[in-house]
Amino acid sequence: MKRLISLFFMLTLLLAVQACADLGDEEVDASEVATEEFVTDVAAEEAATEEAVSTEAPVEVIEGAVCIDVTGPIIESVNAVSESDGGSETVLEETPLVTYVVSGDEISDPALETVPSELEDQQLDEATQQQVWEYYAALIPAENRDTIVEYSVFTDGVDNTLAMVTQTKTDPAAWSLQVDIADTANYYSLTYTLVHEYGHLLTLGPDQVTPSEAVFNDPENVDVLNEEVAACPDYFPGEGCSNPDSYINAFYNQFWTEIYEENQEISYEQDPDLNQQMLTEFYDKYQDQFVTEYAATNPEEDITESWAFFVLGDKPTGDSIADQKVLFFYNYPELVELRSAILGNLCTAFPQ
Ligand SMILES: [Zn+2]
């Protein structure tokens, strides 16, 4: 199942980026140690992670963004888009260009697809491909992205889909990060999208949602899907049955039980224009429940958009349901800690 964010816009941001908080050399060195020790062996990997944790100073819990000059414009740009009508452009077909193997912080073994000649420049633009990967790897701590085993670069032209994550074709517990190289110049929208995509890994990865082999092996079979959904006592995103104490199951039970059926009706609509129209009506009806219009797509996009606002935005002071969805993540100390780590990384890695 593809997990993505559609951008039918490009963001124009004129705000200057200024210097932001410096986390100091000590933390950077510690994370590099963990990265270098990243190996496929699970026991060794856990040991490396524990070592990184034990040698680091306790992570400071930061509730406000530490480099507001960067995070402010990112969130403002998303809000600006939500308030616009978001008229959809013609969507070109997604063309895969190249796929790399991911090992820890490194990408290697680029496998080139056969592409039309007009896409060859983008296909061979290894510098940009590498730069985007390095930015992602700099943002998300290595121990939090070990389900990513593949990095693919594609394009559908400017706008439309910026990035997505999907289960790999061979292993439902391993995931692929895919980025449209034509949309990577704007680091505000790139950052928002990479944080959003990470939210899918965080909430749908194999430690949260046990992948359904039956659905994975026969993804178009509705009967198989229905059987798996019926057998699942908790929330069932497309990938499998969520664990009872998973983030997405808690989020669903807290926020979605009353509106899920109505939302599902929309997903059955095959006509893309009609589907979009129904989704907009659904969002308009429940606007105070969602941080963006895109969040109204389904629980998976909702938790992920709320996650992105949790990471990149200030702690909400209101009590709307949309605010409660962002506050949801503050109930999990490990996510508050991860937020701090990502924000610190962002402030260092965001291009000046
Ligand atoms: Zn998404």
State the Cα–Cα distance between residues 101 and 151, nearest whole angstrom: 6
Amino acid identity of 193?
T
What are the structure tokens assigned to 131, written together?
């730069």
Q: How far is the CA of 30 from the centre of ligand 1 (A)?
A: 31
pLDDT of residue 2: 76
pLDDT of residue 275: 95
Amino acid identity of 61?
V
pLDDT of residue 6: 52
Q: How far is the CA of 1 from the centre of ligand 1 (A)?
A: 11
Q: How far is the CA of 137 from the centre of ligand 1 (A)?
A: 19
Q: Consecutive 10-residue runs of the chain (352 residues): their mean pLDDT?
A: 57 30 34 31 39 45 70 85 50 91 98 96 98 98 98 95 97 98 95 98 98 97 96 97 98 98 94 95 98 97 98 96 98 98 96 88
pLDDT of residue 63: 53
Give start and end residues of each alpha helix (H) in the chain.
25-36, 42-55, 68-83, 120-123, 126-139, 187-204, 213-217, 222-231, 247-255, 260-267, 272-285, 299-312, 321-327, 333-349
Q: How far is the CA of 201 from the centre of ligand 1 (A)?
A: 10
Q: How far is the CA of 177 from the centre of ligand 1 (A)?
A: 12
Sheet of 95-103: strand order equals: 2-7, 160-167, 175-180, 148-155, 95-103, 106-112
pLDDT of residue 167: 98
Residue closest to 81 by CA, chosen among 184, 164, 159, 155: 159
Q: Please answer whether residues 190 and 132 qualify as being in contact, where contact means their C-beta atoms are separated by less than 8 angstroms.
A: yes
pLDDT of residue 65: 52
pLDDT of residue 76: 86
Q: How far is the CA of 40 from the centre of ligand 1 (A)?
A: 27
Q: How far is the CA of 301 from the centre of ligand 1 (A)?
A: 5
Q: How far is the CA of 200 from the centre of ligand 1 (A)?
A: 7
Q: How far is the CA of 8 from the centre of ligand 1 (A)?
A: 14
What are the structure tokens assigned to 188, written together?
């505000």
pLDDT of residue 92: 80
Q: How far is the CA of 302 from the centre of ligand 1 (A)?
A: 8
Taking the whole predicted model, whether its pTM rises above 0.95 is answered as no
Q: How far is the CA of 304 from the centre of ligand 1 (A)?
A: 6
State the Cα–Cα distance between residues 228 and 282, nearest whole angstrom: 27
